[in-house]
A = this chain, B = another copy of it.
Amino acid sequence: EIVAAIESYFGKGAPLAGLRALVTSGPTYEAIDPVRFIGNRSSGKQGHAIATALARAGAAVTLVCGPVALPDPAGVKVVRIESAREMLAACESALPADIAVFAAAVADWRVAQEAPQKIKKPAEGGAAPTLSFAENPDILASIAGLKQGRPALVIGFAAETEKVAEHAAAKRARKGCDWILANDVSAGTGTFGGDANTIHLVTENGTEDWPRLTKQQVAERLAARIGDHFGKKTT
């Protein structure tokens, strides 16, 4: 930490000094009632690693994260939320930013009518309940589509199980973001909850296939790639 702070102070190894970054990480939880919720299996490892790498590269980082079992990264402002709607509000509050990386696994749907009291088990032989869902806000598309205050570089993730690069390019166009980090999460790849990731970076110039890397290496490579991007733009 001290070395990092000194490097940052003297501008060495701080290609992102002076830039503000917003990163999301982890799952969202959508409440069914005060006790039950719908969650997903995102560990937050990749998003937290990206927040750490951007901070080490000199950026001022706000990390908006759902319920994870990870410690807060050092030198990062952490905002903890639960639901997708809370995540969107926290992201909006974290603007302005130059860089936004949306690594969280946001629930597409929330329960249409959250119960204010615990839903009781019906009497013997009673009917099991049914849940209806409402669509959640699309955080990536919302921030990428801002007319005012859009971050200069908006980066999304795509978790795909087939035709990874093709689906990711379509997602990039549909969401209006600049880059997509696409990975294959099909069963057996061990990406969910695991420590490694095989990334395809989709930009306006096409697709870069990265080798299989640890999530920390993915984060460091992304931070370097972002540094190159802003370096090119300012020269």
Contacts and interface: CB of A to CB of B under 8 A. Distances in A.
B121 A128 contact: no
Contact of A36 (B39, B112, B187): B39
A3 interface: no
A79 to B, nearest CB: 20
Given A37-B41, A39-B37, A131 B128 contact: no
Query: For chain A, which range describes its interface: under 10, 10 to 19, 20 to 34, or 35 or more residues?
Result: 20 to 34
Q: How many copies does the complex hold?
A: 2
A205 interface: no
B37 A38 contact: yes
A32 interface: yes
Nearest to A109: B128
A34 B189 CA distance: 13
A69 to B, nearest CB: 5
A128 B132 contact: yes
Interface of A: 29, 32, 34-41, 69, 105, 107-109, 112, 117-118, 121, 128-135, 159, 161, 185, 187, 192
A34 B128 contact: no
Given A35-B192, A130-B130, A130-B132, 19 more contacts: A34-B187, A35-B40, A35-B41, A36-B38, A37-B39, A37-B41, A39-B39, A69-B69, A108-B121, A109-B128, A109-B129, A112-B128, A118-B161, A128-B132, A128-B133, A129-B133, A130-B131, A130-B133, A131-B133
Contacts of A29: 39
A44 to B, nearest CB: 13
Contacts of A39: 29, 36-39
A108 B121 CA distance: 7
